[in-house]
Amino acid sequence: PGLRFDYQYAWTEGVRGEIKYQRFFERDPRDPEKESGSLSADEIESSKLHPQRFKFQFNHNQQLDGRSRLIASAMVYSDSQFQKEYELIENPDPNTAQNFSVNINRQFSKGSVTLSATQTRVFSELALLNRKIDLTQIQYLPALSFQFSDTFWRSGKTTLTRSVSGSIVRYYRVKGYNGEGISVTPRLNFQFPIFQHFNVSINVGKQISSFEVRDPDLPGSDDEYGFQILDGKAEINTTVSRIFAIESGIFSRFKHMIKPRLQYDYVEDVRQTSTSGVPFGGVVSTRRLATFRLENVLLAKRRFFERSVKLTSLSLDRMRKNNIDPVITRKLELILGQEFGSEKLLVEQLGRLFGETISTQQKNTILTYAEKGVIPLLNNQVRGQTREGKSWTLASLNFVQHYDVLKKDPYFQPIGPAVKGSETKSGKPLLPLRTNLTFTPETAFSFNLFNRYHHQKRRIVEYSLGVSVGVNAHNKASVNFRNNEFAYQTPFGNDVAAANTFGFSNNFEASDELSFGFSGTVNLDADSYTFRRRLSSSAFTVDYRPDCWNIRLALTEKVGNTTTSSGREQEYIDRTLYAYINLGGIAIPEQILPNLE
C-alpha cells in the first residue's frame, strides 16, 4: 500500500508552485544477500531491512518583477531502487538521491541572463540497502548563462542576424577534479532570396570553450585546455501554391502548398578532452548530414451558412415592454421589416443608422430581439447568407530523406565523441525515408500515419497509425498502433526502442458532473514478450466535478517481473489506486525549469 499527497498553490499573482510526496509501506523485509550491492550482507542491521520508501518533489515559480523570475526546485528519493520498482525505469540515469536547484532569470529586450546553482547527489550503485553517494558526481555551483540576438542589417527580404550565447560555470566534486569553464558561441544567420522564387538561409556558429581544472588531493594536477567547434546549417527552399475556389459545399476555398527544402548540417570533428582525462569537456559529436524535405500542406476555409435576421413589429413591441430607450425604438422603425442576410449585416446597418451614439452592448441587445429566418434552399439566395471561416490545415504529407556523409566511408573514426545514428551500417549513407501523413477534417477528428522505408532492406521497418475523435475534453476516444522492428538512434541522438503495440483510450460523460475513462497498451509481439498477460498497462478513471471541485479516482495496472528469493524471475501486476482531489478545480500550469547543461 501507499499514499501520495499533491499540493498546488498560487497564493498571489505571479507566484505558483507545487509540493508532491509519495510514500509506500512494504510488509515484507528486503533480502540483504541480493540488495546490498558492494556491502556485505552482515553489515546490514535487521532494523534496516524495512527501509522507508518515498519520493519528495518541490517546485516554486515566482515573478520578481516585470522582467525577472525566480525558479526553485528540489527532488529527493529514499533509495536507489525507487525509480526502478515504482516508476518502472529499468536503468535510471542518473540514479538520483537528491537534486536541488535555484535559478534567477532576467529578461532584456534582446536577450536574457540566468544565474543558477545546482546540487545533484546520485547513488553509487543500484542497491536498495546501500545508500552510499557517488562522491565523483559533478555539481554546478554556480552557473551564469546568457543569450542575446539582434538583427543588425535588413534590406527587403534580406536579413543578417547576430547572436551570442554561453555560460560561465564552476564545477565541483567532493572527490576528484574541480574546475571552472567558460563557453561562448557567437553565431551569424544570413537569409536572402535568390533567383526570385528561392530563399536561402545560412547559419554559422563557433563554440569556444576553455577549462581550468585541478584535484585538491593530487598535487601538481592543475591543467588547462580548451577547444573550438565550428558548426553550420544551410538551407535553400521555395514554395509553390495554388488556390482552388469552390462554388458550393461546406468548403469555400482550398490552398495547396508544396515546399521543397534542401538542407546541410555540419559539425566539426574536434577532440574535446584534455590529456589528463578529466571529466570536463564537450560531448558534441561531429555531423555531416544532407537532408531533402518535401512538405505538402492543404489549407481549407469552411463555408458557414447563416440565418437571415430582421426586426418585426413583434420585435419592437417586446423592446417597448422591456423599457428599451424610446429614441432607439423610433429609429429602428426605419428598418422595420427589412431582411438582412446575417447578424453582421444588421450590425453594420445599426452603425450607419445610429452612428457613434450606440454602444456595442446596445447593438447586442437589439440582436436578441431580432427574429431569425430560415436558410433558403436556392443557391443564388444562399450566397448572401454565408460567411467564410478561418483557414486551417486540413491535411499534410511530408517526406524526409537523410544522407549521412560520414557513413560513406566505412572506416571513418572520429577524433571527438562517437558519431550519433545507427539506422544503417557503415558504408550505407542513405538513411531510411520517413513519411508522415496527417488528416484533420474537423477539430474533433484526426488521423496520423508515419513510416520509415529502409532502402537497403527494401521494406518498411517502422510504421505507426493513430486515430482520435472527440466532442470535448470529456468525450473522446483514440486508438494507435506502432510497429518498429529494431531499436535505433537518429543522427541527432534520439533513441527509439523496438515495439509492436496497440494502444487505446476512451473518455465519456455520464452527466455534466460525472465521466468515465479507460486506456491501455497491448503488446502484440509474442516472440519477444516474456509475460503471460498481453495487456502490459491499463488505467480506469472516474471523474466527478460538482460545482468547482474536481475529484478523480484512478486504478492503474502495469506488468513487470521481479526476482524471487530463490533467484527465479516471476511475473507480477502492479496495481495502484489514486484518489485525486482538486480544491477549486483550477489546474496550475507545470513548472518551466531551465536546462543547465
Q: What is the mean predicted confidence (pLDDT) over 261-276? A: 89
Q: Bridge partners of 230?
A: 206
Q: What H or E segment, with its residue span, contains residue 144? A: strand 139-155
Give per-residue pLDDT as tens, 205-256: 999 999 888 888 888 888 888 889 999 999 999 999 999 998 887 888 999 9
Give the pLDDT mean for 292-301. 96
**3-state secondary structure string, 276-318?**
CCCCCCCCCCCEEEEEEEEEEEEEEEEEEECCCEECCHHHHHH
Domain ranges across the chain: 1-108+119-124, 135-238, 307-374, 392-582
pLDDT score recorded for residue 222: 86
Q: Name the most confidently modeled range: 69-73, 329-333, 549-553.
A: 69-73
For residue 375, what pLDDT is reported?
A: 52
- Which residue shows C-alpha cell 542576424? 161
Q: Which of 280-284, 349-353, 371-375, 446-450 has the highest mean pLDDT?
A: 446-450
Under 8 Å between Cβ of 583 and 549: yes
522 contacts 508 by C-beta, under 8 angstroms: no
Ramachandran angles phi, psi of 123, nearest 5° = -70, 145
Alpha-helix runs per DSSP H in 120-256: none
Q: Which amino acid is at 353?
A: L
The 10s digit of each residue's pLDDT in 478-497 is 999 999 999 999 999 999 98
Residue that the C-alpha cell 523496438 belongs to: 498
Distance of alpha carbon 149 from alpha carbon 188, whole angstroms: 10
What value does the mean pLDDT take over residues 356-363? Answer: 85
Q: What is the DSSP code string of 397-432?
A: EEEEEEEEGGGGSTT---SSSPPP--SS-TT--EEE
277 versus 558: the higher-pLDDT residue is 558
| pLDDT at residue 586, rounded to an integer | 52
> For residues 497 and 388, what is the distance between their CA atoms, to the nearest angstrom?
45
Give Cα separations from 229 to 180, 226, 271, 414 (angstroms).
19, 10, 9, 14
